[in-house]
Structure 1
C-alpha cells in the first residue's frame, strides 16, 4: 500500500478510537449531572481577581510602610537629643524694676532613668494608657480595629483612646494635637519608627519624663513635686494612680483644680491595675482621698495682670518659640498695697477690683478679684458693670463744653424725660444751687436735666473721646450710668482728665527680650493732642476736687489734693470710686459676680476707703501737686465789660462801617439803598411834630405809652420745666 493510503488508514483508526472514547464516557457523565459542567460564575471570577489585586496592593502598602518607617527611624534624633529637648516656651515676666514677677511655661523635675522609676508608676501608666504596650510594635491592632468599628457603628463602648504610649510620645515630640487623618497616619509611622529605633524601656523613660500632667508640670518628677511635695522616686500606689490618671485630661483631673475628680479618676486606675495583675485587691482598696496634697501657696494677684498682658505678645511679637523675658510696668510695692486694700475693704461675699495708671497710661497695679486661686475671672479688665454716678463725669464735661461754669446756677427740681423720672437718693430736691454743689453731692435730677439739655448723644460722644469702647445706650437713664463699663476703661477716662485732656491708653509691656538678650519689642512713646479745651478740663477738675473735699467722696481724702467721683447703682449692686492725685489715677469697683445687692455698699464708703488706703502708699514718694482749676474762658463765654452798666448795646444809635446811622433795634440791619425810606421801629421819633398832627386832626393826640425797663438776666439753668418726682443717688 502506498504511504498516502497508510496515513488515511491511521487517521481513520484514530477517529474511531476518539469516537469510542466519547461513547464510553457519555454514560458515566450522564449518571452524575446529566450533561457538561457549567463554567465558573462572573462573581467568583471577580472575587478571585479582587483577592489577588488586594493582596498585591497590601504587599505594596507594606513595602511602602516599611520604607516610610525605616526612613523615619533613620531621621529620628538620638536618645540623648530627645532627652535634652524641652517642650513649650518659657516666659519670665519682670516688674518695672526688673525683679521677676512670675515664670510662665513648663516646669520640669529631675530626669529619672528607667531603673529609677518606681515599678508602681510604670505599671499604673501602662494599665490605664496602653495595656498591650510590651507586645505591640508601636500601633495596637486591637485598639485600631476597635476604633474602626466605633467609627462605623457609632458605638462608644471602648474606655481608652486609640493612641498607644508610643503614639502619644510621637505626638508630644514631633506633632500637634489636630484631629486629622493625615496627623494620625504620621503619628502611626513615627510610633513604629520609635519602636524600631529604641527599646521599650527607652520609650517608657522618654514618655514618663516628658508627658504633661497639668499645672505646667512635665514628667512624673515634676508632677510629684508639684502635687505631693516629694520626688517621684517616693511615689506610693495611690499617688502613682493619681498621676497616671492625669494624662487623659490634665486640667479636668488636676488635684489643684478638682480634688474629687482626681480621686475618682485614680480609683479607675487602681481598678485597672488590679484587673491586669499589677497590684493586689488590698492595694486597690487604698484610700486615695487620704493622700496628702501639697498646699497651694495662694497665687497673688499678679496673675490677674499677667493674664491680661501676656496675650498681647501674639500681637506685638513675631512668632517665636525661644524663651523670652517680658518687662512690664507693674510696681511690686503698689501691687501689694492694691491687693491689701481690696482684701481689707471689700464687703463679705462681694468681689473687688482695682486698676491704677500712671500719667502716661502705664499700669502700676491691677487686681481682678479678692482671690485668684478661688476665681481667676478678671473683674478689672473683663467684667461689665454699671458705673452709676461715676458716669456723670461725661455729663458734666459735655455741659462745661456747652458753656456752663462751676459757679452757674442750676435748679434741682423733679423732672420727667420721655416717661423716665429719676429721683435723688434722699428723696428731696434743693431748688436753686450751683453746678459745683450739684456735682459734689451727685444730684441725679440736675444731671438728668443737663444731659437732656446738651443731648444724650453728646454725652456718649464725650465718653468715646476718652477711650470708652463698651456699648453706650442713649436712653435718658444713661446720664446716671445705666450702660455697663469695664473698670479699666473708666479709669482710663479719668486718667485723661488728670493728663489735661489728653487721651491715655493703658499699657503693661515696655519691652521684650529673647534668650540671647536681643530686644524683640520696645514700646514707643505716644504723643496725643488734647481732646478738650483747657478751661473745660479746669472746670471738671474743680468739680471732681469738690466731690472729694466736701461731697460724696470725702472718704477718699489722703492729706493731699485728690479729685474723684463716687458711683453707686440701684439697690447697692455696685460701688465705685475713681480719682487721681500726683499723676496717679486709680479706679476701684466692688460688688457681687451675680449682681445681687450688697448691704451698705456705696461708692463713698468701701470703694473710697480702698482707694485712700492704696493711694497713701502709691503717692508717698511723689511730690504734692495742686490742681489747676483756673478758668480761662473763651471770649464768647465772658461777661460784658464795664460799659454794660449804661445799658445794652441795642439801646444806642451808632454808625456802621459805611457811615450809616443805625437806629436802636437795627444794629444787624443792612443799609437800605439810597432814596428808599427806612422802616421805622416802634420807638422811633414821629415823622411830624405833635402840634402839626393836632392841627391836622382837629383834636389832641392820645398819650404815648412809657417805655418798659429791660428784664434782668437770669442765671443759666437747664431749660426744662419742673415735672414729676424722681430718685437721687451717688
Structure 2
C-alpha cells in the first residue's frame, strides 16, 4: 500500500510539475505572441511589397516593355476581387484546416511528426498558410527549431491581429509563384497573359500548384510538370468539398494555354549595357521604377536581322546605331544572346583596321592639308617599317581624297610621319577612344584595340560638324506612381575640331562610299563612311552615317582567327546597308554640308588630281538614287551610268582630254559646291592596279 501511495504521489507531483511547466510555457508563449502582435506592422504597411526587392521595367522609346528585372508584382487584388476558385484551390492544396486553426495546426503538426517517425524523413510539412505568410514576410527558409518557433509565434500573432480573409488576401498577393512573379496577379499575367481576376478553374489549379516548388512546377520551367501538379490540386479541391468530382473531371489542365516566355534576344545586350547607368543618374530607391530608354524596337529588329543575315558562319557580329543627339536606337552585341551574353558592341576591343584612318585624315585636315592636295603613293620606309598596299602596287601621285577612298596605306604612313604619330593618337583620344594607343608607325593602319561604340561615337561627332556626341540609353526614370526621378537634359556642346575640318572629312568619307572601298554601303541617298579590315582578315568594320543616323558594324571571330573573304567592304558594309535602308526610310534625304567656309589662311587654289574613274555602277540596283529633294535622278543610260557620265568601259576624262575625271561632273556626283577654283590638269593615267580595294592594313607588315 505504501508503495502504491508513493507512486501516486510521485505521479501527482510529476503532473503538477508538467502542468506548471505547461502553464509557464503558455504564459511565455502568450507574452511572446502579445509582444509580436504589438510590433506587427499595420495592414496597409504589409500590402507594400518593396521588401521583396525592386522591380525595374525597362521600356523602349515607344513605351513597350523591353524587359522586367527583379520581382514582378502585378496588381494587388482585394479578397473580394480574388476568384473563389483561386481561394479554394490554395486552401485545398496548402492548408485544408485554414478556417479552423488559430494560425498553428496541432493536427497538421502531429501528422507531420507521424510521417517523420514512420519514414525516417520529413516528407510532409506542417506549416499553415499563416505560418508561410509569416516566413515570407519576416523570416527565411532555414529548417531550424528556432526559426520554426519564431514562425509559430508570428503566425499566432498574425491570426490575433488580422482576420482570416485578410491573411488569405496577404498570402495570395505576396507569395512567390516562380518566373519572378510575386502574387497571383503577376503569376497570371506571366503565365496566361491576363489578370488573376479572370482565372479559370484550370488556371487557378496551375497557379495554386506552384507554391510547393516554384522552380520545379513553374510553367516557364516545365509546362508539363505544372499541368500535372494542377491535377493534384483539383483532387484536393474535391476531397475538401470545394468542387464536385464532375467539375474536376470536366477540367483538363493540359488544355490550358500558356503564354510563351519572352525570348532572350538581342535587346538584352542593350538593357544589360543601360542598367548600370542608373547608379549615376538616380539616388538609390526600392520603389518600383520604369526606365524609359532610347531604343527603337523596329530598328532593333532590323539591326538583328542585318547582323544575322550577313555575318559569316562561325563569326560574330555587332552593330550600334546612334541618332544625331547620341541616343542609341539599336544595339546588337552578338548573334545570339542566349548562347553568349558578351557584348561585342561595348565590351570587345578589336583592331579597327583602316577605319582608324578617320583620325589620320582629321589630323591632316586640321594641319592645313586639303582633300585636293597630292601625295605620292610609293614604297616608303619609316623606322624600319615598310607599309604595303593591299594591291601590292603603287598608284603614283594621288589626291588625299583618292588615297582615303581607296584606303592607300603608304599615304597614311607618310601623313603620320609628317605630322607625328603622337598627333594622330591625340586626335583619336580627343574623339573619345579610351584604349591605349601606341605611337609606333603602324598605328596609322589601325593596330590599336578599340571598341565599336567608341568608333561609332567618333564618326557621329564628325557628322555633328565636329561637336562631341555622347551615346546615351536612358531618357527618363519614373516611379510606378508617376513620380519623376530623372529626365535627361542636353549636355554642353564640346567642339572637337573646327566645322570646316569636319566638313572636309565628311567629303572624304562620302567619296569612300561613292567610289571607294565602301560602295556596298550605298542606300540611294548620301552616305559617308569608312571600311576597315585587319591583317589576315580577322576583323571587318564599316562605320558610316546618313540622314542623322550613325551606325557602326563589326564582324570577326571571338578567338581572332582568320575568316576567309571577310573585308570591311563586304559583309559589314552589306549589314550596314540592310539596316540603314530601314533606319532612314522615314527620314528626309539630307545632303552633306561640305562647303563650310575656310579660314583665310586656308583659302588657296585647289589641286584636284583623281587617278581613277568613279564607278557609279556600284549603286545598289534595288535602291533608287535621289536628289536633295528626294526626287529620282535621271534614268541610267544603256551603259548603266547617269546622263553625262562617261560611257561604259571608257576612262573618265576631263574636257581637255587628260586622264582624270571631269571635275565639274565629279562635283555634281559628290554634291560638292562649285565655289572652289578649278583644278589644274594632269596627264597621269590611272594605273592598272587602281581598282578600289578594302583590306588596307590589310596586308600591312607592322613591326614585331
**Does residue 388 of the first structure (1) align with residue 353 of the second (2)?**
yes
Partner of 2:543, secondary structure, is: strand
2:699 matched residue in structure 1: 728
Matches within 5 A, 1:386-465: 386-418=351-383, 420-465=385-430
Please point out which of 39, 42, 48 is paired with 1:75. 39
CA distance in 1, matches of 2:413, 2:152: 70
**Does residue 632 of the first structure (1) align with residue 603 of the second (2)?**
no
CA distance in 1, matches of 2:63, 2:452: 27
Tell me by how many angstroms 1:601 deviates: 2.2
Tell me by how many angstroms 1:566 deviates: 0.7
Please point out which of 160, 173, 178 is paired with 2:137. 173
Partner of 2:425, secondary structure, is: helix
Partner of 1:378, secondary structure, is: coil
Partner of 1:587, secondary structure, is: strand
**Does residue 344 of the first structure (1) align with residue 335 of the second (2)?**
no
Tell me by how many angstroms 1:412 deviates: 3.0
**Does residue 582 of the first structure (1) align with residue 547 of the second (2)?**
yes
CA distance in 2, matches of 1:428, 1:160: 83
Matches within 5 A, 1:274-285: none
CA distance in 2, matches of 1:639, 1:375: 55
In the superposition, relative to structure 1, how do residues 80 and 594 fare at CA in structure 2: closer, same or farther (>3 Å)?
Answer: same
Q: Return 434-443 or 116-125, whichever deviates more.
A: 116-125
Q: Which runs of 5+ in 2 are unaligned?
A: 1-22, 96-102, 110-120, 229-238, 240-255, 607-695
Contact 1:326–1:513 (CA<8 Å) still a contact in 2? yes
Q: Which runs of 5+ in 1 are unaligned?
A: 1-58, 127-133, 141-156, 268-277, 279-290, 641-724
Matches within 5 A, 1:211-230: 211-212=175-176, 214-219=178-183, 222-223=186-187, 226=190
2:496 matched residue in structure 1: 531
In the superposition, relative to structure 1, how do residues 63 and 498 fare at CA in structure 2: closer, same or farther (>3 Å)?
Answer: farther
Please point out which of 432, 446, 455 is paired with 1:481. 446
Matches within 5 A, 1:616-627: 616-619=581-584, 620-627=586-593
1:312 matched residue in structure 2: 277
Contact 1:492–1:506 (CA<8 Å) still a contact in 2? yes
2:620 matched residue in structure 1: none
CA distance in 2, matches of 1:515, 1:574: 45
Deviations 1:160-207 (A, max 9, x none): 99x9998885575358999xxx99999998678558767999878855
In the superposition, relative to structure 1, how do residues 165 and 623 fare at CA in structure 2: closer, same or farther (>3 Å)?
Answer: same
In the superposition, relative to structure 1, how do residues 400 and 68 fare at CA in structure 2: closer, same or farther (>3 Å)?
Answer: farther
Matches within 5 A, 1:326-337: 326-337=291-302
In the superposition, relative to structure 1, how do residues 327 and 119 fare at CA in structure 2: closer, same or farther (>3 Å)?
Answer: closer
Partner of 1:575, secondary structure, is: strand
CA distance in 2, matches of 1:318, 1:189: 37
2:436 matched residue in structure 1: 471
In the superposition, relative to structure 1, how do residues 118 and 427 fare at CA in structure 2: closer, same or farther (>3 Å)?
Answer: farther
Tell me by how many angstroms 1:636 deviates: 7.4
Tell me by how many angstroms 1:525 deviates: 2.0
CA RMSD of aligned residues (A): 5.5
Partner of 1:567, secondary structure, is: strand
Partner of 2:348, secondary structure, is: coil
CA distance in 2, matches of 1:422, 1:176: 67
In the superposition, relative to structure 1, how do residues 398 and 200 fare at CA in structure 2: closer, same or farther (>3 Å)?
Answer: same
Matches within 5 A, 1:126-165: none
1:649 matched residue in structure 2: none
In the superposition, relative to structure 1, how do residues 524 and 69 fare at CA in structure 2: closer, same or farther (>3 Å)?
Answer: same
Deviations 1:293-337 (A, max 9, x none): 864343554443333334323322233344444343333443343
Deviations 1:318-363 (A, max 9, x none): 3334444434333344334333333333333433322222222122
CA distance in 1, matches of 2:483, 2:457: 32
**Does residue 104 of the first structure (1) align with residue 75 of the second (2)?**
no
2:5 matched residue in structure 1: none
1:613 matched residue in structure 2: 578
Tell me by how many angstroms 1:624 deviates: 2.3
Contact 2:525–2:589 (CA<8 Å) still a contact in 1? no
Contact 2:86–2:208 (CA<8 Å) still a contact in 1? no
Tell me by how many angstroms 1:438 deviates: 1.8
CA distance in 2, matches of 1:159, 1:474: 70
1:556 matched residue in structure 2: 521
CA distance in 2, matches of 1:501, 1:475: 27
Contact 1:241–1:266 (CA<8 Å) still a contact in 2? no
Contact 2:86–2:201 (CA<8 Å) still a contact in 1? no
Tell me by how many angstroms 1:592 deviates: 3.3
CA distance in 2, matches of 1:201, 1:598: 67
1:7 matched residue in structure 2: none
In the superposition, relative to structure 1, how do residues 634 and 89 fare at CA in structure 2: closer, same or farther (>3 Å)?
Answer: same
Tell me by how many angstroms 1:579 deviates: 0.8
In the superposition, relative to structure 1, how do residues 255 and 445 fare at CA in structure 2: closer, same or farther (>3 Å)?
Answer: farther
CA distance in 2, matches of 1:377, 1:339: 15
CA distance in 2, matches of 1:444, 1:238: 71
CA distance in 1, matches of 2:123, 2:458: 55
Partner of 1:342, secondary structure, is: helix
**Does residue 603 of the first structure (1) align with residue 587 of the second (2)?**
no
In the superposition, relative to structure 1, how do residues 241 and 211 fare at CA in structure 2: closer, same or farther (>3 Å)?
Answer: closer
Contact 1:391–1:481 (CA<8 Å) still a contact in 2? yes
1:365 matched residue in structure 2: 330
Tell me by how many angstroms 1:486 deviates: 2.1
Tell me by how many angstroms 1:242 deviates: 9.6
Matches within 5 A, 1:278-293: none
Partner of 1:479, secondary structure, is: helix
* TM-score, normalization by structure 2: 0.62
Tell me by how many angstroms 1:497 deviates: 0.5
Tell me by how many angstroms 1:584 deviates: 1.9
Q: Return 327-336 or 526-535, whichever deviates more.
A: 327-336
CA distance in 2, matches of 1:342, 1:606: 9
In the superposition, relative to structure 1, how do residues 187 and 504 fare at CA in structure 2: closer, same or farther (>3 Å)?
Answer: farther
Work out the number of aligned pairs and report it: 556
Tell me by how many angstroms 1:397 deviates: 1.5
Tell me by how many angstroms 1:372 deviates: 4.0
Q: Return 514-523 or 350-359, whichever deviates more.
A: 514-523
In the superposition, relative to structure 1, how do residues 599 and 490 fare at CA in structure 2: closer, same or farther (>3 Å)?
Answer: same
CA distance in 2, matches of 1:85, 1:63: 34
In the superposition, relative to structure 1, how do residues 380 and 237 fare at CA in structure 2: closer, same or farther (>3 Å)?
Answer: same
2:344 matched residue in structure 1: 379
Contact 2:85–2:201 (CA<8 Å) still a contact in 1? no
**Does residue 494 of the first structure (1) align with residue 465 of the second (2)?**
no
Deviations 1:534-564 (A, max 9, x none): 3322332222111111111001112222111
In the superposition, relative to structure 1, how do residues 172 and 453 fare at CA in structure 2: closer, same or farther (>3 Å)?
Answer: farther
In the superposition, relative to structure 1, how do residues 336 and 188 fare at CA in structure 2: closer, same or farther (>3 Å)?
Answer: same
Deviations 1:494-540 (A, max 9, x none): 01101111111112333333445443322222232422123322332
Q: Return 453-462 or 559-568, whichever deviates more.
A: 453-462
2:11 matched residue in structure 1: none
CA distance in 1, matches of 2:105, 2:90: 20
Contact 1:445–1:727 (CA<8 Å) still a contact in 2? no
Contact 1:118–1:233 (CA<8 Å) still a contact in 2? no
Partner of 2:343, secondary structure, is: coil
